[in-house]
Structure 1
Amino acid sequence: MNRTFLPGLALLLTIGLVGRLVATVIPVHHLIITIALGLLIGNLYGIPDWAQTAVGTHKLWLELGIVVMGASVALDRVIAAGPTILLLVVATVVTTIVVIELLARSVFAIQEQTGSLLAAGSGICGVSAVVAIAESIAADDSRIAYAAATVLLFDATTLFVYPLVGHALGLSEIVFGIWAGLTMFSTGPVTAAGFAFSNTAGEWALLVKLARNALIGLVAIAYAIYYARTTAEIESKSVTTDGGTAGNAVGWRFLWDTFPKFVLGFLAVMVVANLGFLNSAQTTSLSNLSDWAFLTAFAGLGLEIQLEDLRSTGYKPVLVVLTGLAIVATVMLFVVQALF
């Protein structure tokens, strides 16, 4: 294990350290530079066999960084903004899914299941949502790959574009963080873009994004019920996590199976820290651990972005998601600015 994992981990840390060094020379946040370096290395030279194991753990490092970052989040701010944030999250998720579905079916005539996968990936949490919804509606692998490639294309571009747009428009830290958390797709790019703007923006972006992630199970069940109705099977079946049949209680099991468990860890650490169980030194240590975990995660994320894979995306799904993102992002930016 150590022979394959440690050298790869050293590679990730080296990319991150170089990203930090470059950030002292050019005015770009080190997380963005780290992703760009990983992308450059991964596409020019590929990922060495001895580094594959470590690179594959980048999502775990991201989740670790999110969990321990809970120690630096002020609970009173979350409680104060909670109801408004939850309403915004639900409104954005519903609006995004409806807009993408309408564009896919009525404007661009994309196959129904592919449109649903694009809508879920755009509205909830990127590729994770694509996979979860694909499982609940029994979509075939080609449609999953099609939708996932489209989502990844926008993940790779929005993490660079959003901070530029935010600075160009002179958005406040809170407005940018909430806006990014509401409208960007996957957790990694949202985190990178948020912290590239500022630490405060990063915290808000992550809070809002975690709230969106928590809805994945509900959306998956809603899609499962819809597709079961369209095939006239709803009377005799209820969809399970493997596409089979079972009693009504399976809905709760599916909610738990699809729920992102690291969100609970984040909430637990945030509550413990805000109740005063951690001293300043411990909070600082957790903050440093979060920084290093993010650095490692984004080095791995950059290495795994393969431009060749993104070229397989057809123009129709790209136009669907681009149009939907432009509509939802513009509307929600006005709404967030009015509220915050």
Structure 2
Amino acid sequence: MNNVTKQSAFWLSLAICLTPFITSPTALVIGFLLASLGLVPVQFNLAKVTKKLLAYSIVGLGFGINFDQALAVTSDGIGLIIATIVGTLALGWAVTKWIGLNRKAGYLISAGTAICGGSAIAAVSPAIKADDEQIGLALATVFVLNSIALFVFPVIGHALNLDQHTFGTWAAIAIHDTSSVVGAASAYGEEALTTATTLKLARALWIIPVALFSAFLFRSDSKKITVPYFILFYCVAIAVSDLIPSFDWLFQGIFDVSKRALVVCLFLIGCGISVEKLKAAGPKPLMFGVSLWVIISTTSLAWLTLF
């Protein structure tokens, strides 16, 4: 297949991902299909472009966080939030080492499970200098589980007769991505949706300390810590949007563009993985993600219903 055909297929797919009809999981799949069919131009340095665009996207997402609201929810459930985040990361670290999974891929899956799915993986990956294959494996695992949770959680909630508040809290803790949290909670009820969305927003603030800790944890052998500066700009974006509410229309626009840029990032990441790479990785990443997700889901549900 000639290079012109490859470039045409690549740029057309990229343009489609810029439309509002393509979601993050779909963009990842489109990129994966292009890579598997050999339609990704080899002259493009996708890894370099992806890392920069990921950083810019995360900074832009900071303009969409209501700091006061997120802080209020964080203070109300600070114990549960810290316990689930720290517990998930610690458990993930131990299990990753035990089963012999790639350390960075396992850590990214753990971070996505602990905080907010794809957004957390996107934020942490530059801090630990993960490559496209590791990022792609983590995202693919998280997106598969997200799709399952979207349908399974409301069924479990109704079967156990969970009240709206309890279900919303559980969904925010145990479902990875915000989009799936919103989808599952909205199917359950209005109060569940409000609770889940607000709590998930609060958990997003924890991207900041987790990314900084991750940079320290994965520092090079020279013991030099690479400061993920985009996280600092993420904090600035949150502060600016909170201090200048009169420009909310502008901040919302930046937030919307950043969400679409994140979709493009996932398309580019998908272009870096293929069937051969997934076969080489084996079933461990998915098994690890499922195990970690089941443990967090059951323990958090038990805590919410029994205490």
Asked if these proteins are the same fold (TM beyond 0.5), I'd say yes
Contact 2:59 2:237 in 1 (8 A): yes
Q: Distance in 1 between matches of 2:253 and 2:285?
A: 44
- The residue that corresponds to 2:17 in the other structure is 16
Pick one of 46, 58, 64 that aligns with 2:56: 64
Q: Which residue identity does 2:24 align to in structure 1?
A: L
Measured after TM superposition, the shift of residue 78 of structure 1 is: 1.1
Distance in 2 of aligned mates of 1:62 and 1:195: 23
CA contact (8 A) 2:24 2:266 kept: yes
The one-character-per-residue Cα deviations of 1:134-169 (angstroms, maximum 9, x if unpaired) are 99xxxxxxxx99987864552352343343445555
- Mapped contact 2:10–2:41 kept (Cα < 8 A): no
Instruction: Judge conservation of contact 1:68–1:290 (CA < 8 Å) in 2.
Output: yes
C-alpha separation between the residues in 2 aligned to 1:277 and 1:310?
46
Q: Please, which of 65, 82, 89 is the counterpart of residue 90 of structure 1?
A: 82
Mapped partners of 1:305, 1:48: distance in 2: 14
TM-score, length basis structure 1 = 0.60
Matched, 1:37 2:30: yes
**RMSD, matched Cα:** 4.6
2:261 counterpart residue number? 293
1:76 matched residue in structure 2: 68
C-alpha offsets along residues 165-217 of structure 1, whole Å, 9 cap, x if unaligned? 4555568896477325xx74xxxxx3665577689867864652451462355
Aligned positions of 1:1-340 closer than 5 A: 10-11=11-12, 13-17=14-18, 20=20, 23=21, 30-49=23-42, 52-53=44-45, 56-84=48-76, 86-100=78-92, 103=95, 110=99, 114=101, 120-124=107-111, 151=138, 153-166=140-153, 168-169=155-156, 175=169, 178-179=172-173, 184=176, 190=177, 193=180, 205=200, 208-212=203-207, 214-218=209-213, 241-244=219-222, 254=225, 257-258=226-227, 260-276=228-244, 278-315=246-283, 318-333=286-301, 335=303
Give how far 1:278 is off. 4.0
**Change beyond 3 A, Cα 1:54–1:308:** closer
Structure 1 residue runs of 5 or longer lacking an equivalent are 1-5, 24-28, 136-143, 185-189, 225-240, 245-249
Taking the aligned partners of 1:49 and 1:15, their CA distance within structure 2 comes to: 20
Matches of 1:99 and 1:318 in 2, distance apart? 16
CA distance, structure 1, for counterparts of residue 290 and residue 105 of structure 2: 11
Structure 1: distance between partners of 2:127 and 2:85: 16
2: CA distance, partners of 1:294 / 1:243:
31
Instruction: State the Cα deviation string for residues 14-49 of structure 1 (Å, max 9, x = none).
Output: 1314x64xx4xxxxx733333333333332343123
Q: Is the CA contact 1:67–1:266 (under 8 Å) kept in the aligned structure 2?
A: yes
**1:292 and 1:115, CA in 2 relative to 1: closer, same or farther beyond 3 A?**
closer
Residues 31 and 196, structure 1, Cα contact 8 Å, conserved in 2? no
Compared CA separation, residues 307 and 175, structure 1 to 2 (3 A): farther
Answer whether contact 1:73 1:203 (CA < 8 A) is retained.
no
Contact 2:31/2:268 (CA < 8 Å) preserved in 1? Answer: yes
> How many angstroms apart in 2 are the aligned matches of 1:145 and 1:59?
9
**In 1: Cα distance, 2:182 partner to 2:51 partner:** 17
The Cα offsets for residues 70-106 of structure 1, whole Å up to 9 and x where unpaired, read as 333222211201235654443224323443466567x
Q: 1:63 to 1:330 in 2, by over 3 A?
A: farther
The structural deviation recorded for 1:304 is 2.9
Q: State the 1:56 CA deviation.
A: 4.8
User: Aligned residue for 1:238?
Assistant: none
Superposition deviation, residue 309 in structure 1: 1.0
CA contact (8 A) 2:32 2:274 kept: yes
TM-score (norm 2): 0.65
Distance 1:35 1:164, change over 3 A: farther
Q: Distance in 2 between matches of 1:284 and 1:128?
A: 20
